[in-house]
Amino acid sequence: MEKLFTLEEQQRKFLLAQQSFKDGDYHIAEPLFRLVIESAFQHEDYDMYVSAMVWLERILINTSRMSEVYPYIILVNPLIEKYGYEEIKERHELSCIIFNAYNRIGQPQEAYKKLLCEVSAKGYTDLICTVANNLMYYFVDIGEHQEGLRLYYQMKSLYEDNTTISRMARYMFWIYSFELLYLNKDYEECQRILIWLKERDIIVDSFYFMYPICQALLEMRIGSIDQALIYFDDGLAQTVDLMSIKFELNLLIDVLKENERYKDVIKYQSILIDLLNEHYDFENSSERTTIIQNFSRQFYESQLYVDQLTKVQNRNFYEDLLKKQQQVKNYTLFVLDIDRFKLINDTYGHAVGDEAIKFVADRLKSWNPKHDISIVRYGGDEFIGLIPYGYEVVEEDIKELHNLLMQTPFEVADIEAFPLSVSIGIAHTEESYQLIDQLFRVADAAIYEAKVRRGQVVVKEIK
């Protein structure tokens, strides 16, 4: 099949898309990233494939198309560790945090702060600014303007002194700073920001609408309400997605009420009501119903715990379980992995290695003798079995599982079938309470013993 671009052309398109993104020219950046994704897939250039998808994630977020973001997050998640370089991993993590915040999943504030610390330690200036901007916006959105102001003063000198930061990052920093200062009634500093933006020519075309809207909010407080409404209407006319200015529209209406401009209150409340009705109609439409079925909070949360290669539980699931530090008794935990797995990868390639992992996972899923056993892919070819029963209850079942895996030939296209050897380390507790983490450590030690001779099962009881 004829390739869309040569690798050299693909690289040039990618760099142009990146620069267009940083300049806020999304109408140029988006189609270029989509073309690069297709080209990279044709070339099996998965590093570029992942990078372009992560940049596209951000365009979709910045243009309020959250329902389109989710498939990219799910597609990138299993690839990012292998094909993403360090900075692109951080960018993808930021997309996940923003998406989670939008869907009220997890603790976004803590996640933002943790990521900001990580990128600051690595010195990624533009990414530091991007993460900080999103955290500032989050503070505006949840009404924590004092927290936001602390971040503003922390970041301010970096933005004033560093001209290498992308135009888009600089513009959005000052817009979010304006809103935080406005909420703090520091109108003098708000005015200074608007003048500074104009003088430095930092205003970004795709988000130009925010500038006259900020002008309007300030004018309402220090100047003429009539002039403020002219500014606000200018911003409204430029806004593609009115939901993106719902917060500012409410601020405007509050000031109009304070000044008893009831005709104007009715006008802008009507816009707000239409906006909310449109949102409500979408919430109740068949389109929304379809999205919710595939894209509900519960479904997304469940996907966070699913390994994309094998469809068993992933390490996130196990580590969340550890955070709860449950003490258990009459409990069995096994660690299982494939013997000489590196040799399989080296001899047949990573694609066959992945098939071997899926082969084991499929047998583990079909084996489950009890409905409440959890199978976790811990990483690579290593699996954990979490069994809320004493060892004597499941001893024969585990032996059957081991025999099944040892005796079933592994078959994959174009390669002669061969048997896989697996080792299992088991830890169990009967009447004494133990932490799951302790059981894992004992089982992990047991599997090292099992792998000395390979294909063995080693059992240890914690008393």
Region 148-177: what's the mean pLDDT? 88
- What torsion, rounded to 10 degrees, do the Cα atoms 229, 232, 236, 241 define? -140
Residue 211 has pLDDT above 80, yes or no: yes
Q: Which of 267, 241, 233 is nearest to 253 (CA)?
A: 267
| CA 389/CA 397 separation, integer angstroms | 12
Mean pLDDT of the chain: 87
Burial 280-291 (b: 16+ CB within 10 A, else e): eeeeeeeebeeb
Q: pLDDT tier at 398 (50, 70, 90 boundaries)?
A: very high
Residue 57 has pLDDT above 70, yes or no: yes
Q: Which pLDDT does position 23 carry in this prediction? A: 84
Burial 160-195 (b: 16+ CB within 10 A, else e): eeeeebbbbbbbbbbbbbbbbbbbeeeeeebbebbe
Pick the more confident residue, 75 or 363.
363
Residue 11 has pLDDT above 60, yes or no: yes
pLDDT tens, residue by residue, 130-147: 999 999 999 988 888 899
Pick the more confident residue, 138 or 161.
138
Q: pLDDT tier at 160 (50, 70, 90 boundaries)?
A: confident
CB–CB of 339/452 below 8 Å?
Answer: no
Q: Which pLDDT does position 338 carry in this prediction? A: 95
Sheet holding 422-429, edge to edge: 374-379, 382-387, 331-338, 422-429, 457-462
Residue 74 has pLDDT above 70, yes or no: yes
Q: Which of 391, 311, 314 is nearest to 358 (CA)?
A: 311
Task: List the beta bridge partners of residue 327.
Answer: 435
Q: Which pLDDT does position 105 carry in this prediction? A: 77
| CA 321/CA 312 separation, integer angstroms | 15
Listed in sequence order, the residues at least 6 apart from 97 whose beta carbon sits closer than 8 Å to its beta carbon are 108, 111, 112, 115, 134
pLDDT tens, residue by residue, 295-309: 444 555 555 678 878
pTM of the entire predicted model: 0.61
| CA 223/CA 307 separation, integer angstroms | 57
Listed in sequence order, the residues at least 6 apart from 415 whose beta carbon sits closer than 8 Å to its beta carbon are 348, 352
Q: Which two tokens stand for residue 299?
A: 């479904």
Q: Which pLDDT does position 295 carry in this prediction? A: 45
Chain centroid to Cα 430, Å, comes to 40
- Could you give the count of Cα atoms lying within 13 Å of 170 in the half-sphere of its Cβ? 23
Q: Which pLDDT does position 277 carry in this prediction? A: 63
CB–CB of 344/337 below 8 Å?
Answer: no
**What string of DSSP letters covers 331-394?**
EEEEEEEETTHHHHHHHH-HHHHHHHHHHHHHHHHHH-SSTT-EEEEEETTEEEEEE-S-HHHH
Pick the more confident residue, 82 or 275.
82
Q: Which pLDDT does position 378 carry in this prediction? A: 92
Q: Which pLDDT does position 163 carry in this prediction? A: 75
Q: Which pLDDT does position 390 carry in this prediction? A: 92
Residue 293 has pLDDT above 60, yes or no: no
CB–CB of 72/53 below 8 Å?
Answer: yes
Cα separation values, 155 from 120, 131, 211, 269, 432, Å:
11, 11, 21, 36, 53
Listed in sequence order, the residues at least 6 apart from 27 whose beta carbon sits closer than 8 Å to its beta carbon are 206
Residue 6's SS3 state is: coil
Q: Which pLDDT does position 305 carry in this prediction? A: 79
Residue 287 has pLDDT above 80, yes or no: no
CB atoms within 10 A of CB 343: 11
Q: pLDDT tier at 315 (50, 70, 90 boundaries)?
A: confident
Residue type, 215: Q
**64 CB-contact burial (10 Å; exposed 0-12 / middle 13-18 / buried 19+):** middle
Residue 203 has pLDDT above 80, yes or no: yes
> What radius of gyration do the chain's Cα atoms show?
28
CB–CB of 378/322 below 8 Å?
Answer: no
Residue 282 has pLDDT above 50, yes or no: no
Q: Which range among 34-43, 157-166, 180-189, 230-239 shows the weakest confidence by mean pLDDT?
A: 157-166
Q: Which two tokens stand for residue 247?
A: 């917060």
| CA 290/CA 238 separation, integer angstroms | 31
Pick the more confident residue, 356 or 321.
356
Residue 12 has pLDDT above 90, yes or no: yes
CB–CB of 36/73 below 8 Å?
Answer: no
Region 184-189: what's the mean pLDDT? 94
Region 13-27: what's the mean pLDDT? 91
Region 9-14: what's the mean pLDDT? 95
Region 246-267: what's the mean pLDDT? 89
Q: Which pLDDT does position 291 carry in this prediction? A: 45
Residue 112 has pLDDT above 80, yes or no: yes
Q: pLDDT tier at 288 (50, 70, 90 boundaries)?
A: very low
